[in-house]
């Protein structure tokens, strides 16, 4: 753990495992509620000096961190693949994406503008300033263990906030590597503090109840996000939440079914389906269903699972045994309720895969609303196809969920694309685009998929308060 500029090693530890092989790859400090309080106290003590730094000084630190992260891209990617499981190529892409947030917010730090407002009184002037909210508590997930750190640390540090951060218990080594980069870039003691722990609950309770914390930012499940938001409510802490998704992928009959199927295969099985923007319900207009399924089945059946360090493998492991059980429960429930299994559908144990958490790339069709997979986020390598006939019907089906994070539309009809875009109740929509994300673009959901936005100019606003000055002259 890094608290007030010191790496603490004389503590109890817990082990970190490679989900592809089951082997122990390291051990880290097992933090407690007391450690979380110390981290917040350190952040609180460091706040006055950090918020008083010029925006240019804070920007320069983030520029240095960006340079160091790119310099160590391969080293960080290898660590991520060993700790989280995704193929090395995907890890390389994530490190670049993570560095992009440091660069973007290095630039946004210098663009936190105020304004003057005219008054009805001739002897009065209004001035508006944007100032840091203060101490921020951050909780990050395991599925994107580096980019989700920089997506929070970048804007918080740029705005002048100080931070106490708890990474996911499955991927603390990636977090340690990021904090070492920040330290090398010149991070002052106490400005960003890292608390690793095998049990997240005591840390989360401190983050939500400590009076010095003025904002909580969390990425994870909707259930946990609701619990944390409720715990923050008594002190009216600001919260931003990037939570679960249940993305519809709509393929209209004027789209090229082969092109659409290739797009689905790329985004659905990205990170073994362990992404909050992963398509969960693939709606295909019936007229092109057969050629779509033919292409998708061929691509899914050809996906090779294994250790992400081997470039021949396109599917990595799931994060743990619980993830395997959840995915298989959804698949078996769908089959029992009449879905047709076209590929996969079981855990992989041959050729040494029994030591890891591997599930075969799976394709189901004839999926219907009474199936669990139609309602619950899967977070695994399962493509669930739902045939449809009518445009109005598919929009209603797509919106029939408590989630509202991401959605996708494939069509060559501009009017249809705009109609669907405007009617879908989701915060991020890809139109003939399977990667509608960037450090420069706002990321976040509607309904129970979250509060607030990360990235873009909106991202730094989440860490700023608006202060009004009324001057009588």
Residue range 262-283, pLDDT digits in tens: 999 999 999 999 999 999 999 9
pLDDT (tens digit, 9 = 90+) per residue, 325-382? Answer: 999 999 999 999 999 999 999 999 998 999 999 999 999 999 999 999 999 999 999 9
pLDDT at residue number 16: 98
Is 78 catalytic? The answer is no
Q: Are 86 and 316 in contact (CB under 8 A)?
A: yes
Judge whether 2-243+447-472 and 247-431 match in fold: no
Active site (annotated) includes residue 376: no
What pLDDT, on a 0 to 100 scale, did the predictor assign at position 369?
96
pTM of the model: 0.96
Whether residue 9 is predicted with pLDDT greater than 90 in this model: the reply is no
Which residue in 183, 276, 377, 391 is the catalytic one? 276
Q: Where are the domains of the chain?
A: 2-243+447-472, 247-431
> What pLDDT digit, counting tens, does each position of 377-386 carry?
999 999 999 9
Q: Which pLDDT belongs to residue 98?
A: 98
Please say if the pLDDT value at position 232 is more than 90.
Answer: yes
Catalytic residue among 83, 108, 183, 242: 242
**Mean pLDDT within 102-115:** 98
* Whether residue 299 has pLDDT greater than 90: yes
Q: What is the mean pLDDT of residues 218-227?
A: 97
pLDDT at 409: 98
pLDDT of residue 432: 98
Mean pLDDT confidence for 43-69 = 98
Which CATH number does 247-431 carry? 3.40.309.10
pLDDT interval class at 293 (50, 70, 90): very high
Average pLDDT taken over every residue of the chain: 97
Q: CA-CA distances (angstroms) from residue 383 to 139, 328, 414?
A: 29, 13, 27
Q: Which CATH superfamily is domain 2-243+447-472 in?
A: Aldehyde Dehydrogenase; Chain A, domain 1 (3.40.605.10)
400-459 confidence digits (pLDDT tens): 999 999 999 999 999 999 999 999 999 999 999 999 999 999 999 999 999 999 999 999
Mean pLDDT of 195-206: 98
Q: How confident is the model at residue 244 (pLDDT cuts 50, 70, 90)?
A: very high
Rounded to an integer, the average pLDDT of 51-55 is 98
Confidence of residue 86 (pLDDT cuts 50, 70, 90): very high
């Amino acid at each position: 753990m890094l608290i007030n500029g010191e790496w603490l090693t004389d503590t109890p530890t817990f082990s970190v495992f490679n989900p592809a092989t089951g082997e122990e790859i390291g051990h880290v400090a097992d933090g407690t509620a007391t450690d979380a309080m110390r981290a917040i106290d350190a952040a609180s003590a460091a706040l006055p000096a950090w918020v008083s730094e010029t925006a240019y000084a804070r920007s320069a630190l983030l520029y240095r961190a960006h340079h160091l992260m790119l310099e160590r891209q391969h080293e960080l990617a290898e660590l991520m693949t060993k700790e989280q499981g995704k193929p090395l190529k995907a890890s390389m892409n994530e490190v670049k994406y993570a560095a992009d947030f440091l660069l973007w917010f290095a630039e946004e730090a210098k663009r936190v503008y105020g304004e003057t407002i005219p008054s009805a009184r001739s002897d009065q002037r209004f001035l508006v300033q944007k100032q840091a909210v203060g101490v921020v508590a951050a909780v990050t997930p395991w599925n994107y263990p580096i980019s989700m750190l920089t997506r929070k640390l970048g804007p918080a540090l740029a705005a002048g906030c100080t931070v106490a951060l708890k990474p996911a218990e499955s991927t603390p080594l990636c977090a340690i590597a990021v904090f070492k980069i920040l330290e090398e870039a010149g991070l002052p003691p106490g400005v960003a503090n890292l608390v690793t722990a095998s049990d997240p609950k005591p840390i989360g309770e401190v983050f939500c109840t400590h009076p010095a914390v003025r904002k909580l930012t969390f990425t994870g499940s909707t259930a946990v996000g609701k619990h944390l938001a409720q715990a923050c409510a008594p002190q009216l802490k600001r919260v931003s939440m990037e939570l679960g998704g249940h993305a519809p992928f709509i393929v209209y009959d004027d789209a090229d079914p082969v092109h659409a199927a290739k797009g689905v295969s790329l985004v659905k099985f990205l990170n073994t389906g362990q992404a909050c923007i992963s398509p969960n319900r693939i709606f295909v207009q019936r007229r092109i269903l057969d050629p779509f399924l033919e292409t998708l089945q061929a691509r899914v059946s050809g996906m090779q699972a294994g250790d992400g360090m081997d470039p021949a493998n396109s599917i990595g492991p799931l994060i743990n045994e619980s993830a395997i059980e959840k995915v298989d429960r959804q698949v078996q429930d769908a089959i029992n309720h009449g879905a047709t299994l076209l590929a996969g559908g079981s855990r992989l144990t041959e050729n040494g895969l029994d030591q890891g958490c591997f599930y075969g790339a799976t394709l189901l069709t004839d999926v219907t609303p009474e199936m669990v997979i139609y309602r619950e986020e899967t977070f695994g390598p399962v493509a669930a196809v739902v045939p449809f006939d009518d445009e109005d019907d598919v929009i209603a089906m797509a919106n029939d969920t408590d989630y509202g994070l991401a959605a996708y539309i494939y069509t060559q009809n501009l009017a249809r694309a705009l109609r669907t875009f405007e009617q879908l109740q989701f915060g991020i929509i890809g139109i003939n685009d399977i990667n509608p994300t960037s450090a420069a673009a706002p990321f976040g959901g509607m309904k129970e998929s979250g509060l607030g936005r990360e990235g873009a100019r909106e991202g730094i606003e989440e860490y700023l308060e608006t202060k009004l000055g009324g001057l009588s002259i």
